[in-house]
Chains A and B, each alone.
Chain A
């Protein structure tokens, strides 16, 4: 149960989450490329370039923003955050439910499942909890 609560768990271990990560990567990298090309076009039109601002005594924030390393890190960070938040909401509850059922199957002490805010599986979770209660009563008899 604790494993599925890890922030990165759904993105790294689930094939569906990995496909979300890949599709987001392609999208974000594509858009970053378009923005970079467009910025270069604007600077060229003004007779400027990125190097011009790197060498000037520019605002430190600007130097950071136009650094290729920062742009790369920013892109990767965005991809990861986007994929993680999406995977957590679409794949996370399924994995959580799977882990909970495995714990129940293995005979570990489990509490009724809790539905998290924003979960799209409320009805299923309620039914599984009902089933759990019924089976628990049957088992006690």
Chain B
């Protein structure tokens, strides 16, 4: 799981980090913000890590659709079984079958709409994860490059505050043991 991080200087002042791991090579472009990590204010941006936020939003959308599937399918199945009942008059069966079709369409639309709404909601709340995640990644990279990035600062309200506190404790403990 370990990799080598080789800092290279780009044409400008932006350094490029190349990470080789288990035969696969990945390139991470880290902009000048990396060198001025400590000066970067913790501003909340709507989109700070698009791929991560999309995955987060999709997880929320998937969740709500999973939640609606079972009640929806049971309602559809119940109405279908009712419409097939032998004691019903033909007119009643027709009404139930038409109603069943309407119910299916309504359910599909409601599921899609709520999935979309929850996906957007998930995308919006994911910034509480995405910002700190990027910060911890940048901080870890700086540590690996042996550039002392100082204390990792994350808001207490953010999801990664526990991770940040643990990382700070570990790094300060290791540095005390071996100041070099």
Seen from chain A, the residues whose Cβ lies within 8 Å of a Cβ on chain B are: 16, 20, 23-24, 27-28, 31-32, 34-36, 38-39, 41-43, 45-48, 53, 56, 58-59, 61-62, 65-66, 71, 74-75, 77-79, 81-83, 85-86, 89-91, 94, 97-98, 101-102, 104-105, 112-113, 120-121, 123-124, 126-131, 133-135, 138-139, 141
**A121 to B167 alpha-carbon distance, docked (Å):** 16
- Inter-chain contacts of A62 with B (CB < 8 A): 78, 81-82, 85
The 6 tightest CB contacts between A and B, nearest first, are: A82-B67, A42-B99, A86-B63, A101-B166, A127-B140, A65-B78
**A28 to B110 alpha-carbon distance, docked (Å):** 11
Instruction: Contact check, B72 vs A31: say whether CB atoms are below 8 A apart.
Output: yes
**A104 to B168 alpha-carbon distance, docked (Å):** 12
Chief secondary structure at chain A's binding surface: helix
- What mask results when residues 29 to 67 of chain B are scored 1 for a CB within 8 Å of chain A, else 0? 000000000000000000000001001100110111011
- What mask results when residues 154 to 180 of chain B are scored 1 for a CB within 8 Å of chain A, else 0? 000001101100110111011001100
CB pairs A–B below 8 angstroms (26 shown): A39-B79, A39-B103, A46-B96, A62-B82, A62-B85, A65-B77, A65-B81, A75-B71, A78-B66, A82-B64, A82-B67, A83-B67, A86-B59, A90-B56, A90-B59, A98-B163, A105-B169, A105-B170, A120-B52, A120-B55, A126-B1, A126-B19, A130-B3, A133-B2, A138-B177, A139-B178
**A133 to B21 alpha-carbon distance, docked (Å):** 13
**A71 to B103 alpha-carbon distance, docked (Å):** 17
**A53 to B83 alpha-carbon distance, docked (Å):** 11
